[in-house]
């Protein structure tokens, strides 16, 4: 008699963005005339740029000819892409990362959900609170969460690191030492960033305690200020304790194209085993490589023309971020983020709960955002707006909110 994975039944309601989609669809169905502006899910809206489009067309043509056709890709990614990543994202920044320490994948969501599989069930994990829900939910599914306490909104076996106004939206080193520490900077959802000196403290803490940091740098392209590290490998000692996750979704607009990568330096050894070899085995067994045509598109991101175009995309969204940030602030809202990240984090007005404010914005202003409480208990009373919308619609949405 087959048995289900009981840990799945512990999961709380459905995935945050599914719930939002259902609410929006219901409202939209009941109010078909409503002009709803979506600043909720972190999905991009600008089209792919000419250099990327050209690379895709060219790779598609290669697939039409037997002499240039490509079947199975190398499990870990094509060398042309791994080398472009190593050179541009790491060596150019002085980070000592080799091409064969880069694992190409179909995106940072998959990687951030799958990476826990190479660790034992008995690892204690720590997450920022609020947090990208995938880190927590995949650990619940894997049996590491303990039980859920509806009163606090917390899992008994997970260490929560509150990131609120009081902590400047940054986590503090936990007293009880976690085995796996999930960090995301620039942060989703709060848009907060960490200085190199502060990140160095985390690297030192992890090395001292034998913890592993899973560092999600999906938003690094949005960093505009100096002294904010683009990679954890800018910190000394990160090669022995840190895994880094990256995405092409938010810089190059690949949310619907699907491409990302994970970096595991060969120096990370846990219980005498190189994590690099475990992840290679996982990748080789449960994954079959990213599509050739999409890896060529990824390569084009690193061409001179591609870099310039991608800069243009980021600037476009960051103009949105500034508009949201400045106008909400001027209107009296408490806001943070939005400077090195495409997310603006605001305190809900009048002590409203996050979901009450969500409903208010949806029904009164026809604007969709993301309730902070959906990201964890410390997100209660906060709300996330994204800068990924169309510029004119973003202005319209902000004007509606401020009116």
Going edge to edge, which strands form the sheet with 343-347?
335-337, 343-347, 382-386, 370-371
86: nearest Cα among 77, 95, 78, 76: 95
CB of 403 to a copy of itself, least distance (A): 27
CB of 240 to a copy of itself, least distance (A): 12
The strand ranges marked E within 130-235 are 148-149, 154-155, 159-162, 180-184, 212-216
Torsion angle, CA of 86/87/93/94, rounded to 10 degrees?
Answer: 80
Which of 72, 166 has the CB closer to a copy of itself?
A: 72
Question: 204: which residues sit within 8 A by CB, 6+ positions away?
Answer: 237
HSE at residue 70, side-chain half, CA atoms within 13 A, is: 17
**How large is the C-alpha radius of gyration of the chain?**
21
CB of 9 to a copy of itself, least distance (A): 7
CB of 350 to a copy of itself, least distance (A): 33
Which of 70, 196 has the CB closer to a copy of itself?
A: 70
Does residue 108 contact residue 216 with C-beta atoms inside 8 Å?
yes
257: exposed, middle or buried (Cβ count in 10 Å: 0-12, 13-18, 19+): buried
CB of 47 to a copy of itself, least distance (A): 4
CB of 319 to a copy of itself, least distance (A): 16
CB of 376 to a copy of itself, least distance (A): 16
Which of 72, 225 has the CB closer to a copy of itself?
A: 72
382: nearest Cα among 338, 332, 334, 326: 334
Which of 89, 137 has the CB closer to a copy of itself?
A: 137
CB of 233 to a copy of itself, least distance (A): 18
Does residue 385 contact residue 325 with C-beta atoms inside 8 Å?
no
Residue 266, SS3? Answer: coil
Which of 41, 352 has the CB closer to a copy of itself?
A: 41
Name the maximum alpha-carbon separation found in the chain.
Answer: 66
HSE at residue 388, side-chain half, CA atoms within 13 A, is: 26
Which of 274, 331 has the CB closer to a copy of itself?
A: 274
Which of 132, 169 has the CB closer to a copy of itself?
A: 132
Indicate the DSSP class of residue 361: I
Which of 186, 253 has the CB closer to a copy of itself?
A: 253
CB of 134 to a copy of itself, least distance (A): 6
Residue 186, SS3? Answer: coil
Indicate the DSSP class of residue 49: P
Which of 196, 258 has the CB closer to a copy of itself?
A: 258
């Amino acid at each position: 008699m087959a048995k289900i994975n009981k840990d799945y039944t512990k999961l709380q309601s459905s995935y945050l963005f599914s719930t939002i989609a259902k609410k929006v669809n219901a409202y939209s169905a009941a109010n078909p005339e409503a002009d709803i502006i979506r600043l909720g899910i972190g999905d991009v809206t600008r089209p792919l740029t000419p250099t990327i489009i050209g690379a895709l067309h060219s790779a598609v043509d290669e697939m039409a000819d037997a002499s240039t056709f490509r079947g199975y890709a190398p499990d870990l990614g094509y060398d042309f892409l791994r080398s472009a990543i190593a050179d541009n994202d790491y060596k150019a920044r002085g980070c000592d990362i080799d091409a064969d320490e880069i694992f190409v994948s179909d995106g940072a969501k998959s990687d951030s959900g799958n990476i826990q599989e190479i660790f034992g069930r008995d690892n204690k994990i720590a997450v920022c609170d609020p947090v990208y829900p995938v880190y927590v939910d995949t650990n619940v599914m894997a049996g590491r969460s303990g039980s859920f306490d509806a009163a606090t909104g917390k899992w008994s076996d997970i260490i929560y690191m509150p990131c609120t106004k009081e902590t400047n939206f940054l986590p503090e080193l936990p007293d009880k030492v976690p085995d796996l520490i999930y960090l995301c900077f620039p942060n989703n959802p709060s848009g907060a960033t960490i200085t190199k000196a502060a990140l160095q403290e985390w690297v030192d803490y992890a090395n001292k305690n034998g913890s592993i940091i899973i560092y999600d740098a999906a938003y690094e392209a949005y960093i505009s200020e100096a002294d904010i590290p683009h990679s954890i490998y800018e910190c000394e000692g990160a090669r022995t304790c840190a895994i880094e996750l990256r995405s092409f979704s938010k810089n190059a607009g690949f949310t619907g194209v699907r491409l990302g990568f994970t970096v595991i330096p060969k120096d990370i050894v846990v219980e005498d085993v190189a994590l690099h070899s475990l992840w290679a085995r996982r990748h080789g067994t449960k994954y079959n490589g990213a599509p050739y045509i999409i890896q060529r598109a990824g390569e084009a991101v690193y061409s001179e023309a591609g870099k310039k175009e991608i800069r243009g995309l980021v600037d476009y969204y960051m103009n949105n971020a500034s508009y949201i940030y400045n106008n909400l602030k001027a209107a009296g809202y408490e806001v943070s983020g939005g400077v090195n990240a495409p997310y603006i984090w605001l305190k809900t007005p009048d002590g409203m709960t996050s979901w009450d404010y969500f409903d208010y914005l949806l029904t009164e202003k026809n604007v969709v955002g993301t309730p902070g409480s959906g990201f964890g208990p410390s997100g209660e009373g906060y709300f996330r707006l994204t800068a990924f919308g169309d510029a004119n619609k973003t202005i319209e949405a902000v004007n509606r909110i401020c009116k």
